[in-house]
Amino acid sequence: MKIFYILVVVFVFLDQITKHLVRTLISVGESISIIPNFFSLTSVQNTGAAWGILQDQMILFYIITVAVLVYILDFLYKKKEYSRFTYISLGLLSAGIIGNFIDRILFQAVTDFLDFNIFGYNFPVFNLADSLIIIGLILFTIGTIRKQKREK
């Protein structure tokens, strides 16, 4: 369980530091090319969710965030022992959720800045917390599938 808390603290800190640097050093809407035609740092204040859906629905985001975090903690405390893989996946997921929640509370928007253009597709701008959420969900799903296969 210790790895869960370590990951949450470390990654929430990294997420907030990167967002603070972006808010401090890059004007909203400004884009700095890092790898031409592939990767830029672009400052965006997103009041919605992924791909800009649900704009300005802060109360909904607060409710969903608290509910998911309570569910994760309840899940972790119902059973005393999970695999390290489970703690890691839920630690990453929780860190991402908390990182974006902090932004929504403090700024009523999430700071996004990672801007990729992949094979001509300009992927929506995102942040470290978004990446942690996706990675955490993928790892948790893989772990769940592996566990189910072992139990058969």
Residue numbers of the domain that contains 62: 2-147
In Å, how far from its chain's centre is CA 39?
19
129 CB neighbour count, 10 Å cutoff: 28
Whole-prediction pTM value?
Answer: 0.92
Residues with Cβ within 8 Å of 2's Cβ and at least 6 positions away in sequence, in order, are none
Q: Catalytic residue positions?
A: 112, 130
Residues with Cβ within 8 Å of 147's Cβ and at least 6 positions away in sequence, in order, are 83
Q: What is the pLDDT of residues 61-107, one digit of tens each?
A: 999 999 999 999 999 988 878 899 999 999 999 999 999 999 999 99
**Mean of pLDDT over the chain:** 94
Contact call for residues 107 and 58 (beta carbons, < 8 A): no
Residue 78 lies in a domain: yes
User: Structural domain tally of the chain?
Assistant: 1
**Residue indicated by tokens 């978004």:** 130
Residue 152 lies in a domain: no
Instruction: Give mean pLDDT, residues 6-13.
Output: 99
In sign, the C-alpha dihedral spanning 89, 138, 93, 18 is positive
Residue 132 lies in a domain: yes
Residue 125 lies in a domain: yes
